[in-house]
Amino acid sequence: MTIADSRVVKRKDGIAGVDRMWDSQWVSVVNHDNCYRDWSKEDAIAHAVKLTEQYMASEFAKQLVALQSRLDAVGRLADSLVGQADDAYVRYIGALNTDECKGQQFKLHNGKFGEAELEAHKKAASLFAKHRELMAAANELRAALGGESP
């Protein structure tokens, strides 16, 4: 039996975990080929615990690398959302610059505010709302990662 063979069980709180073993049980796990036969109990336990700690540290390092990779992916997602928000803002500005969406002075001068103008304003408002929503999502992701908002 190796350390990796420990039973995975559900704890009382419902979280999967590994059975807790006493130090002397760890000696049995690592002593599978009787390598501690001539050791004192204390030395065998100390060595078994050391091996266990080394194993746990290497597993922790692997999990840390995987977690960092996931966090990097979330950061890239936040950057992508900012890019999409910027694109929506540029399209919003473009929509505002159409004749149908120009301001009050232009409409009073032309004497026209019909369906096309109303739809142009709705489109511009929709693009601005999309920009704000995407930026809000990006800002929340960055805040969750402990970073600063753009």
Number of domains in the chain: 1
| In-domain check, residue 13 | yes
In a domain, 70, yes or no: yes
For the segment 90-101, what is each residue's pLDDT rounded down to a tens digit?
999 999 888 888
Examine residue 131 and state whether it is found in any structural domain, yes or no. yes
- Alpha carbons within 13 angstroms on the beta-carbon side of residue 45 total 8
Check: CB of residue 51 under 8 Å from CB of residue 39. Answer: no
Tell me the C-alpha distance between 48 and 59, whole Å: 17
SS3 18: strand
Q: Answer yes or no: is 73 within a domain.
A: yes
Q: Is residue 150 included in any domain, yes or no?
A: no
**Residue 53: which domain range?**
3-144
What pTM did the predictor assign?
Answer: 0.56
Contact 82, 134 (CB under 8 A): yes
Give per-residue pLDDT as tens, 53-107: 888 888 888 888 888 998 899 989 999 999 999 999 999 999 988 888 877 677 7
